[in-house]
Amino acid sequence: MCGIIGYVGENQAAPILLEGLSSLEYRGYDSAGIAVFSDNKINIQKAGGRLSVLNQKTDNGKAVTGTVGIGHTRWATHGKPSDTNSHPHLSKSGRFAVVHNGIIENYIPLKNKLIEKGFEFVSETDTEVIAHLFEYYYKTDIVEAAIKVIGHVKGSYALGVLCSDYPDRFIAVRKASPMIVGLGENENYIASDVTAILSHTRKVYYLEDDEVVVLKKDSVKIYNIDKDEVKKQAFTVDWDVSAAEKGGYEHFMMKEMEEEPTAFMNTISPRIKNGRIVLDDISLTEEYIKNINKIFIIACGSAYHVGMVGKYLIEKTCRIPVEAVLASEFRYCDPIVTPNDLCIIISQSGETADTLAALKEAKALGAKTLSIVNVVGSSIANLSDDCIYTWAGPEIAVATTKAYSTQLAVMYLINIYFAEKLGTITPEQYSSLVAELQKVPDMIAGILAQKDKMQYCASKFYNCHSIFFIGRNIDYAVALEGSLKLKEISYIHSEAYAAGELKHGTISLIENGTLVIALATGKMLYDKTLSNVKEVKARGAVVLGVTTADMPDKEDLGDYLIELPDVNEMFLPSLTVVPLQLFSYYVASLKGCDIDKPRNLAKSVTVE
- Using DSSP's 3-state secondary structure scheme, residue 160 falls into strand
Strand order in the sheet with 211-216: 89-90, 96-104, 155-163, 170-175, 211-216, 219-223, 229-230
Q: What is the Rg, in whole angstroms, of the alpha carbon atoms belonging to the chain? A: 25
Of the listed 2, 163, 457, 464, which one is catalytic? 2
248: left (phi over 0), alpha (psi -120 to 50) or beta: left
Round to whole Å and give the CA distance between 327 and 345. Answer: 9
| Amino acid (one-letter) located at 41 | K
Give the integer Cα–Cα distance in Å for 222 and 229. Answer: 6
Q: Are 98 and 87 in contact (CB under 8 A)?
A: yes
**Residue 606 exposed, middle or buried by CB count within 10 Å (0-12, 13-18, 19+):** buried
Residues, the chain, total?
608
Q: Where are the alpha helices (DSSP H) in 244-397?
A: 252-258, 260-268, 286-290, 301-318, 327-330, 353-364, 379-383
What would the DSSP string read from start to end of 423-463?
T-S-HHHHHHHHHHHTTHHHHHHHHHTTHHHHHHHHHHHTT
Nearest to 472 by CA among 406, 527, 403: 527
Residue 487: CB partners within 8 Å, gap ≥ 6?
493, 494
Q: Given 255, 368, 485, 603, which residue is catalytic?
A: 603
Instruction: Verify whether residue 2 is a known catalytic residue.
Output: yes
Catalytic residue status for 387: no
Identify the CA nearest to 170 among candidates 95, 73, 65: 95
CB 26 within 8 A of CB 20: no
3-state secondary structure of 560: strand
Binning the chain into helix, strand and coil, the percentages to the nearest 5 are 40, 25, 35
Q: What is the rounded CA–CA span in Å between residue 600 and residue 81? A: 12
Residues classed as catalytic = 2, 603
